[in-house]
Amino acid sequence: MGVMGVAPSRASRARMAAREDELLRRGGAVMPPLAQGAVPGTEPIASEALRTIPPRETGGNFDIKQLTAGTTLLLPVDVPGALFSAGDSHFAQGDGESCGTAVEMGATLTVRFGVRKGVAAQRGIRRPQFERTVADPRAALPQRFFATTGMPLTREDRNESEDVTLAARDALLNMIDHLVIERGYSREQAYALTSVAVNLHISELVDVPNVVVSAFLPLDIFAS
């Protein structure tokens, strides 16, 4: 599914809208709120709601081709009930979805939900993460992995436009955080490990202003 996400809180929506408006005023490629054609068309929602083109912290249109059957998607939850939604099903897609569309198809999505209560807040998890913990011989290598995502957002929450380098840095910083918290490495050790074992993929290039880079950690490098 090209789109999977949960709802932002009112505070998060306001923060996202403010940083995108600031980027737009700097000349960045941003699609601001647009009442015409909005769903729902009720005001003030239609004129204030975030556009669904770019992905954000709570997921959305991130077009990650490795999010197939057998993977677990981890999303920070902002509101009670999460309000998960999905769409944009793809039969096939290359990393990047570089011309703005994949091979689109009708599909039925079957998911199982679980809550890891308080984990995102306790560990400062800022972006979607995903994993495959059971090997699938049909899957592209690595068959077992943990992945973090990055977007063109600084640690100070400044949004840049279509900055792949910043998105890669964000993904790697998120992976370093994971290795420190989950594996007990120092930050220096985790940084070195990302250089020798972590693979960066440009997952999505076209959903302005937020490109997505995914950092894949092969789980088979660790002793069982």
Is residue 154 within 8 A of residue 174, CB to CB? The reply is no
What confidence score (pLDDT) does residue 155 get? 94
Give me the tens of pLDDT residue by residue for the chain, a chain 224 residues long. Answer: 999 999 999 999 999 999 999 999 999 999 999 999 999 999 999 999 999 999 999 999 999 999 999 999 999 999 999 999 999 999 999 999 999 899 999 999 999 999 999 999 999 998 999 999 988 777 666 789 999 999 999 999 999 999 999 999 999 999 999 999 999 999 999 999 999 999 999 999 999 999 999 999 999 999 86
What confidence score (pLDDT) does residue 138 get? 73
Domain count, the chain: 1
- With a CB cutoff of 8 Å and minimum separation 6, the contacts of 142 are 199, 216, 218, 219, 220
CA-wise closest residue to 153 among 168, 138, 134: 168
pTM: 0.94
Q: For the residues of 153-210, what is the DSSP string, one character each?
A: B-TT--B-SS-HHHHHHHHHHHHHHHHHHHH---HHHHHHHHHHH-EEEEEES-STT-
What confidence score (pLDDT) does residue 41 get? 93
Asked if the peptide bond before residue 137 counts as cis, ω within 30 degrees of 0, the response is no
Tell me, what amino acid is at 144?
R
CA 68 to the chain's CA centroid:
15
Q: Which residue segment(s) compose the domain that 89 sits in?
A: 3-221
d(CA 218, CA 197): 7
